[in-house]
Structure 1
Amino acid sequence: MARPKNDTFLRALLREPVDYTPLWMMRQAGRYLPEYCETRKRAGNFLNLCKSPGMACEVTLQPLARYDLDAAILFSDILTVPDAMGLGLYFIEGEGPKFERPLREEWEIRNLITPDPYDHLRYVMDAVAEIRRALDGSVPLIGFSGSPFTLACYMIEGGASDDFRRIKTMLFDRPDLLHHVLEVTTQTVINYLNAQIASGAQAVMVFDTWGGILPHRAYREFSLAYLQRIIAGLTKERDGQRVPSIVFTKGGALWAEDIAAIGCDAIGLDWTASLAEVRRRVQDRVALQGNLDPMTLFATPEAVAREARKVLDDFHAGGPGGGHVFNLGHGISQFTPPENVTVLVDTVHEYSRELRRANS
């Protein structure tokens, strides 16, 4: 299968020459778009939207109809994985995700099993296939999963948490139980991502959203080691094309060299990191993705453009070459003015071309 007509995103991840810096945004199909809110209303609730391949395809394509983005990302949620593992996902308006059966007792943890993604997450694979057909070779499609540690946070806490008390208590008191959760979840994530690749995903990303809450040594043991196993277990090529992988640990710039060494193609960085500094540390072993503060998009259009140029300058200050995918340092806010996203996309494409002309 040929690469998409616009393959700039894939080439940047593989550190191949590109004419400009490609851009996509975490949570780019979301509540900041009026058309998304209309589709979600028709779905009845968020989980229905995730579990309808047709509607998931519809909202995946909505930001691409508005903006000149360089990649689409599957519309889904990281918590569909523990839901498939039997924990009973549900959402409460204003409170976020909850689980009916969080992992609290040892017997519950010992009984945890790896589900077959084609049985329990078939709706995701159907959505991936439908989105690929709808994209018709225009831009690449990104598949994704949460990291084992991030998924475990929700599975053990029972939902979102302010202090992660339950999972950290388990980490210190019963590390054997936490490792068991992570072992089972790691194999589940490998199977899940490979099923997405088989269904048509052309790149995959692992969201280690909560890895950054771990103590320094614990990060390597309870998050990074399992991320490395995932990367090693991924399908690396499909239809003669490399399938690049991105690992994003929020707050993870401290461990950039370690993440670069696990075999992924790119590291996602939040806004607290300097792209130039990380580039110097990882020596162009991986591409970098990021890292505009999402709150920038609430500023004036002039400020949005200025800050976007600063991110691009920061990457280029690290030296020639390399691979850079422009992104936000985390997901876009639901309150973001949609018109400011237009400013961002246009600025990144135009200014990155200027930088390349100036350096050629």
Structure 2
Amino acid sequence: MDGAAVATTGARARRDLTGSALLAVTRGEQPNHPPVWFMRQAGRSLPEYRALRKDTAMFEACFTPELACEITLQPVRRHRVDAAILFSDIVVPLKAAGVGVELVAGTGPVVAEPIRTAADVAALPELEPDAVRPIAEAIRLLLAELGTGPDGTPLIGFAGAPFTLASYLIEGGPSRNHERTKALMHSDPDTWHALAGRLAGITLTFLRAQVAAGVDAVQLFDSWSGALSERDYRRFVLPHSAAVLGGLAGAGVPRIHFGVGTGELLGAMAEAGADVVGVDWRVPLDEAARRIGPGRAVQGNLDPAVLFAGWDVVEAEVRRIVAEGRDTHGHVFNLGHGVLPDTDPDVLTRVVELVHSL
């Protein structure tokens, strides 16, 4: 089945989620309250997640449908958020394609054979749709649990953007300065674009499979793009992120695009084709909306560290952010990055209750 057919099939399979505040915002509507969910909400701070993952490796959890389903549902049950985010990892499609990558505790993704040359790029495997059947099965299980109609909860699909995937592959793991990545971009742009193009194809295949399985929205994470200047982003990254988001244009699902430290890139990121642009905590939402331009909603942007500051501080910040969000085309409340591991889950639940009350 080609990509267009996959996208069309996914569009026909959309659930009736008439009461979804999240989907209303992505359509330009104003629901009764801002929808709220949290990045990295599926785990990390929840004791029930830690108990489930105690003897289970990350990839095993991601590729075991029943585990991925249960972990995705845990924060929905506990916090009553307005969307579930599929439990996965940025490098899952690379692993599924056959790339030698492992998730090392305390470090993150580690690549056995980093990619540095045109020959390395040529040897990069494609992602076959059959390789992501466990993810599609997890989505099938989740849709049965998340319901339909006014009380149904939308499910957000998940993928890493080409630049972030490329950085892991070139550096061999997480990097503070991305020096090898930037050096390759500037010294050998042909090889860079060949690599980024291959990764855009892998990401698009991964997201199309999720759409065909029935997810209600997708988010493209570009965790490391904030390390770039706007000029370099436009030259080296924007075409490939646009290829992914543009490849989903007919899929019938809203597209969210998020990066960390991307305040200076928000306008360019909006041009990649998302319906909602995520904002970290460094830029106020009303200013972010001005940079993004009209016609797109914003998502964010409570600093995750503020959740440790006591409820009076948290409440004041939540109220400020919701007020800023009223001056935008539409606002999805979220953190400005992921939930930190030591966050008190009860604080997250109270944040959801407060946002719903506003």
Please say if residues 246 and 268 of structure 1, whose CA atoms lie closer than 8 Å, have aligned partners that are also in contact: yes
Alignment-derived partner of residue 130 in structure 2: 119
Alignment-derived partner of residue 267 in structure 2: 257
1:134 aligned residue (133, 145, 153):
145
2:68 aligned residue (53, 56, 63):
56
Distance in 1 between the 2:209 and 2:103 partners?
26
Distance in 1 between the 2:137 and 2:15 partners?
21
Q: Say if 2:165 is the partner of 1:151.
A: yes
- The sequence identity of aligned pairs, in percent, is 39
> 1:127: Cα distance to partner?
1.2
1:184-209 deviations in Å (ceiling 9; x for gaps): 11111111111100001110010011
* Structure-2-length-normalised TM-score: 0.91
SS in 1 for 2:98: helix
Superposed counterparts of 1:3-82, under 5 Å: 3-4=16-17, 6-42=19-55, 44-82=56-94
Q: Say if 2:335 is the partner of 1:328.
A: yes
- Across the two proteins, how many residue pairs are aligned to each other? 342
* Structure 2 unaligned spans of 5+: 1-13
2:277 aligned residue (263, 267, 270):
267
Superposed counterparts of 1:206-245, under 5 Å: 206-234=220-248, 236-237=250-251, 242-245=252-255
Distance in 2 between the 1:64 and 1:264 partners?
25
Alignment-derived partner of residue 342 in structure 1: 349
Kindly tell me: are residues 282 and 115 of structure 1, through their superposed partners in 2, closer, same or farther at Cα, counting changes over 3 Å? closer
* Structure-1-length-normalised TM-score: 0.91
Distance in 2 between the 1:282 and 1:270 partners?
13
Alignment-derived partner of residue 300 in structure 2: 290
SS in 2 for 1:278: helix
Please say if residues 80 and 89 of structure 1, whose CA atoms lie closer than 8 Å, have aligned partners that are also in contact: no
- Which deviates further from its counterpart, 327-336 or 161-170? 161-170
SS in 2 for 1:251: coil
Please say if residues 236 and 244 of structure 1, whose CA atoms lie closer than 8 Å, have aligned partners that are also in contact: no
Distance in 2 between the 1:152 and 1:121 partners?
20
Distance in 1 between the 2:85 and 2:215 partners?
9
* Structure 1 unaligned spans of 5+: 352-360
Alignment RMSD: 1.6
> 1:93: Cα distance to partner?
2.2
SS in 2 for 1:290: strand
